[in-house]
Amino acid sequence: MRPRVVVYLAAEELAQLRREAARRRLSLSRYTKERLTLQDQDAAPALHDGAFPMLSEKRLAEIVRGAVMGDGRPVAEQLRTLIVMLDQFVLNALIRLPEIPEAQKKQALAVGERRHRDWQHEVQDILRQLRAESAGDRHTPANGASA
């Protein structure tokens, strides 16, 4: 399977790409790939006449690096915080949990698995709620105004 690249475009930008692809009788995917990679050197000059200037490989790499470094720092910091929290949780749980007698291990295992499944379902519910809230936030203007 080939790697995928996801690009977010404004509606007008996407419409322009579709028009140019149709005009050249290419799929949107093929046209976009040619615009990014210039694999078809004979068509390269023709690709520059649209509304989207060709990005050099170096410039594209700079944009990606900037996006990853710029937006990645808060996420990385949150992940570090989460790792520390999980580590402390496990340490505290292991310190406080008593050893289970051999006669009760089977029952304890069943109870632990049930609690784990319950916990997983709860996490899934929380994630669904967060995703729904996040999807709702995308439709809210950045300045907090409503239509």
Note the pLDDT tens digit of each residue in 108-142. 888 888 988 898 888 888 888 888 887 776 655 55
Domain ranges of the chain: 1-71, 99-140
Chain centroid, CA 53 distance in Å: 26
> How far is the C-alpha of 34 from the C-alpha of 47, rounded, in Å?
8
Note the pLDDT tens digit of each residue in 48-87. 455 455 556 667 777 777 766 666 667 777 788 888 888 8
Contact 50, 20 (CB under 8 A): yes
- Pick the closest to residue 32 from 60, 63, 65 (CA basis): 60
Please report the beta strands in the chain, taking only residues with DSSP state E, as ranges in sequence order. Answer: none
Looking at the whole model, is its pTM more than 0.85? no
Instruction: State whether residue 129 is helix, strand or coil.
Output: helix
Counting Cα atoms < 13 Å in the Cβ hemisphere of 102 gives 0
